[in-house]
Amino acid sequence: MNEGSIQFIPHGETKGPMAGGRIENGIYQLAADAGPSAGQHVVRIAGKRKSGRKIQVPPDEYSPEGAVVEEMVDAVPARYGENSDLIRDIASPSTEINFELESQ
């Protein structure tokens, strides 16, 4: 996945705000003062990709006749999204955290 978003949500005893940002060209960067706090975090990763199919969308204020557009589908398995089971223990300050996602 080249484009998307990543979120770090405090988990268990971990305190602090949620942190996150955009994924661009397969890479994400968070400023040190905006990154996740130390401790356990649920990690959510989201992104879309083109399916290769065209779909008809209904009319709206921008396209009164409707339009045919490229269909976008989830590029990341659901287990890394809204119901993520991906938990990481973050050391502070962390300089690099990589993720290898499985397609199933």
DSSP percent split of the chain into helix, strand, coil, nearest 5: 5, 45, 50
Q: What is the pLDDT of residues 16-61, one digit of tens each?
A: 899 999 999 888 988 878 888 889 999 999 999 889 999 998 888 8
Confidence at residue 78, expressed as pLDDT on a 0 to 100 scale: 86
Compute the mean pLDDT over every residue in the chain, rounded to the nearest whole number: 87
Q: Is the pLDDT of residue 100 over 80?
A: no
Please give the pLDDT value at position 94.
Answer: 61
Overall average pLDDT of the 97-102 stretch: 76
